[in-house]
Each structure stands twice: as structure tokens, then as C-alpha cells.
Homo-oligomer: A and B are copies of this chain.
Amino acid sequence: MSLTRFSISLDADLVRRFDAKISADQCPSRSKAVGDLIRASLVEQEWQTDDEVAGALVLVYDHHKSDVLQRLTQLQHDHGSTIISTQHIHLDHDNCLEIIAVRGHPRQLSQLLMRMKAVKGIKHVSLAAGTTGQRLR
């Protein structure tokens, strides 16, 4: 890994407020803080421009409901190329939290999310929009 060093000029008050935020966030340095903002803006761009991304789909459902387990398994096999692996947590006697690690194009992941949501017995679906990290040092 090679580093690039560059200077920027910003209003002194703005820098003071930024430094206060860096300290409150327990961030180790200005370089790390600026780098985080830049990386987050690039990940947002990856999702908008339909580049390859990675993330997690989180489902909550009652495993007693109809044939929810079978339908979900079927769906996951249909989307085998975008699904990496699945983590299953027993929240309580009835409720399951299922976390599906996914990788693919945003459009594919939206399609999968929509199909998951349509399964009867699913209570909630959410998405953590991450990155493959490949183009992101």
C-alpha cells in the first residue's frame, strides 16, 4: 500500500468543529476521519451506480408460520449466486433472526429483498448496505 499526502484549506471554525467531532467519536486522527467520510461517499456511489457490492439482509419471522422455512430455503437456493452464507438466531420461542450475507449488484439484491419480503410469515426485512472493499483502500 502506498500513501498519498495532500493538503487542504478549510475555514478555521469548521476545522475546530470537525476536531471536536473527531474527539467525541473517539476517532484516532484527521486522516482516518476524512478517509471514513470519503469511503462512505464511495460506497454510496457503488450502490447508486449498480457496481458489485456486499452486505447483509436481515429477516425476522415466526418459524411456526405456514411454510415460511421451506419458502425461504427455496428462495435462497434460487439466488445461490448472490448468497454467501446464512446465520440463524433463535430470538425467543417463536421469533427467528436470519442474517444472510450477500454479494452482487444492487439491482439483484433489491430483487432478492423484494422476494423475501413477499413471503407469508416474514415480519420484517432490512438491509445493511456494505461493500466488497476491493476498490476501497
Contact = CB atoms under 8 A, between A and B. Distances in A.
A34 to B, nearest CB: 5
Interface residues of A, number: 76
B137 A54 contact: no
Contacts of A126: 43, 55, 128-130
A6 B5 CA distance: 10
A128 B127 CA distance: 5
B8 A5 contact: yes
Contacts of A95: 132-134
A73 interface: no
Contacts of A101: 87, 89, 97, 99
Interface of A: 1-15, 17-18, 21, 25-28, 30-32, 34-43, 45, 54-62, 84-85, 87, 89, 91-92, 94-95, 97, 99, 101, 103, 114-115, 117-118, 120, 123-124, 126-137
8 contacts: A5-B8, A84-B89, A85-B87, A87-B101, A91-B134, A92-B133, A126-B129, A127-B128
Given A6-B7, A60-B136, 11 more contacts: A6-B30, A10-B35, A10-B38, A17-B135, A21-B45, A34-B34, A43-B124, A62-B137, A87-B101, A99-B101, A127-B128
